[in-house]
């Protein structure tokens, strides 16, 4: 489906912002391993931190297709910025909007939309990865009893994107329900919440990836999102939404790599003519465009499944459900990003291997998309499971 006039206008706004405010600083942020201090303020001013927040809670209430178009443009400017927005506006906001109580939504959604609180997701752990069934972080009820009592959280989460900037973290913890896992809305200002052990990553270096430690963190009963044994379901929902977001930002990386390759190929001369006139280079550019187009189509197909569920229809399981579509989109788009970025480096030749040129950073960032929100090996397993679900 072609974008509407309104969607094209919003996409153009995101493109101009990425071109003027993100891309010129991307290399410096990568080297400093930190985003500019005013980035989140600028995103909030444009409304891009409230894209998926309903209008009644201060957000823009974008549909999924519009949200994905913006993510793609932000990633074209800087993938680390897009990743932060994808986590904040994807799984965190969607879980709150769909499963939060009216009090929880009233407390958190306006703050998330305004950028007063940045959202983060804490699921993965050292020995369990992103498997919600195997987490060790614990949540126990305090002495107040089963009704209306507080919860006490203990454990350590790994690979939490934007942990130190976050004001709200959705923490998944094993509850004292039988085989229960709960999702908790944790205010990072609470005593016992600490961020430590920032990782040094290959790509997405400006996006903080850190450990979140919870030591006797006491939260009220109103911090529990939904029932105490629904966290496993919520975790899978969050991963589906997050994977579609990763697919969109992968498309942005892929586009950026192709654009740089085209520009360089038309400017670089060899044997008296631009290398863009050589058949070998033209073949590479054509194959790169093919992967950009395919990745975008699969991403928006998955976005349609997200929107169908938001609208109260569609399905999550099965070969054509959201889980399968999200995994297919994430798999295809992330592998396209790595392949296209690698080809861009090759077109640049020796210059592509240098940090003075942008394509080597794109290749490092692209590799991360093959790992985030489940490795691509996991994606293949998810897809096969959904294909065989009814057999």
CATH number of residue 210's parent domain:
2.40.110.10
User: Which one of 228, 248, 279 terminates a domain?
Assistant: 228
- Residue 247 and residue 379 in one domain: yes
| Average pLDDT over every residue of 304-329 | 94
- Residue 209 and residue 91 in one domain: no
- In this prediction, residue 148 carries a pLDDT of 60
- For 356, phi then psi, to 5°, come to -75, -15
User: Which one of 228, 258, 287 terminates a domain?
Assistant: 228
Q: Determine whether 373 is an active site residue.
A: yes
Question: 210 is written with which tokens?
Answer: 């850190």
Task: Spell out the residues 6+ positions from residue 209 whose beta carbon is closer than 8 angstroms to its own.
Answer: 159, 160, 161, 163, 198, 199, 201
pLDDT category at 297 given cuts 50, 70, 90 is very high
- Measured CA to CA, the distance from residue 180 to residue 107 in angstroms comes to 26
Residues 125, 237, 360, 373: which is the catalytic one?
A: 373
pLDDT in tens, 58-93: 999 999 999 999 999 999 999 999 999 999 999 999
pLDDT in tens, 206-260: 999 999 999 999 999 999 999 999 999 999 999 999 999 999 999 999 999 999 9
In what helix (H) or strand (E) does residue 72 lie, and over which residues does it extend?
A: helix 64-77
Q: 378: domain CATH number? A: 1.20.140.10
Residue 162 DSSP label: T
Number of domains in the chain: 3
pLDDT in tens, 163-196: 989 999 999 999 976 668 999 999 999 999 999 8
Residue 219 in contact with residue 150, Cβ under 8 Å?
yes
- Residue 236 and residue 224 in one domain: no
Whole domain around residue 181: which residue ranges?
120-228
- Residue 40 and residue 139 in one domain: no
Q: Would you call 259 exposed, middle or buried from its count of C-beta atoms within 10 A (0-12, 13-18, 19+)?
A: middle
Task: Spell out the residues 6+ positions from residue 68 whose beta carbon is closer than 8 angstroms to its own.
Answer: 244, 245, 248, 299, 300, 303
- Residue 82 and residue 65 in one domain: yes
On whether the pTM is more than 0.85, the answer is yes
- Residue 207 and residue 272 in one domain: no
User: Which one of 117, 148, 170 terminates a domain?
Assistant: 117
Pairing of strands 181-187, 224-225: antiparallel
């Amino acid at each position: 489906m072609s974008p509407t006039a309104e969607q094209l206008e919003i996409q153009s706004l995101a493109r101009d912002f990425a071109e003027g405010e993100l891309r010129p600083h991307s290399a410096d942020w990568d080297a400093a391993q930190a985003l500019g201090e005013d980035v989140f303020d600028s995103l909030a001013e444009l409304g891009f931190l409230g894209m998926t927040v309903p209008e009644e809670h201060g957000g823009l209430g974008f549909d999924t297709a519009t949200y994905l178009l913006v993510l793609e443009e932000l990633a074209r400017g800087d993938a680390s910025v897009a990743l932060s927005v994808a986590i904040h506006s994807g799984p965190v906001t969607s879980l709150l909007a769909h499963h939060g109580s009216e009090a929880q939504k009233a407390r958190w959604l306006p703050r998330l939309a305004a950028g007063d609180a940045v959202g983060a997701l804490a699921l993965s752990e050292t020995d369990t990865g992103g498997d919600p069934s195997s987490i060790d972080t614990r949540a126990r009820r305090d002495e107040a009893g089963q009704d209306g009592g507080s919860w006490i959280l203990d454990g350590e989460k790994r690979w939490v994107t934007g942990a130190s900037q976050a004001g709200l973290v959705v923490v998944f913890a094993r509850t004292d329900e039988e085989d229960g896992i709960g999702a908790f809305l944790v205010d990072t200002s609470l005593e016992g919440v600490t961020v430590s052990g920032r990782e040094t990553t290959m790509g997405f270096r400006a996006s903080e990836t850190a450990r979140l430690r919870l030591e006797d963190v006491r939260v009220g009963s109103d911090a529990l999102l939904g029932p105490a044994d629904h966290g496993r379901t919520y975790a899978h929902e969050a991963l589906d939404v997050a994977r579609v977001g990763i697919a969109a930002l992968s498309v942005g990386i892929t586009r950026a790599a192709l654009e740089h390759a085209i520009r360089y190929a038309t400017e670089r001369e060899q044997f008296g003519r631009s290398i863009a006139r050589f058949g070998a280079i033209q073949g590479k550019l054509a194959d790169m465009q093919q992967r950009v187009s395919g990745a975008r189509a699969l991403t928006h197909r998955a976005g349609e499944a997200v929107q169908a569920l938001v609208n109260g229809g569609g399905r999550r399981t099965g070969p054509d459900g959201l889980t399968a579509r999200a995994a297919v989109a994430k798999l295809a788009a992330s592998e396209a990003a790595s392949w296209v970025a690698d080809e861009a480096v090759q077109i640049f030749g020796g210059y592509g291997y240098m940090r003075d040129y942008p394509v080597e950073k794109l290749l490092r960032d692209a590799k991360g998309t093959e790992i985030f929100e489940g490795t691509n090996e996991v994606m293949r397993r998810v897809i096969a499971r959904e294909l065989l679900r009814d057999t």
